[in-house]
Amino acid sequence: MPKFEKVNDNTIRIIVERAEDVPLAKLVENRAKLLEQKKNIEQTLRNVDEILEAAERLGIIAKSNEK
């Protein structure tokens, strides 16, 4: 369970006390998976940006689905 401390009027400190043994091979494996996910996310963001640019050129404006 984390502990919380006030640092100042705008900042909270979250203290997490947890010890865990993690094999380095597992860290390397997890890092490789995260890098692959990062690559996929970056490609998705590029695709979304391309679509938004095309929509802007066509004069299409996104409307909120909130009611």
Asked if the model's pLDDT at residue 32 lies above 90, the reply is yes
- CB-CB contact of 62 with 55 (8 Å): yes
pTM: 0.58
Tally the C-alpha atoms within 13 A of residue 49's C-alpha that lie toward its C-beta: 6
Q: Are 14 and 2 in contact (CB under 8 A)?
A: yes
pLDDT in tens, 5-30: 999 988 899 998 888 888 999 999 99
For the segment 26-54, the average pLDDT, to the nearest whole number, is 96
Domain coordinates of the chain in residue numbers?
19-60
Where residue 63 falls among pLDDT bands split at 50, 70, 90?
confident
Greatest C-alpha distance within the chain:
55
Rounded-to-integer distance, Cα 52 and Cα 64, Å: 15
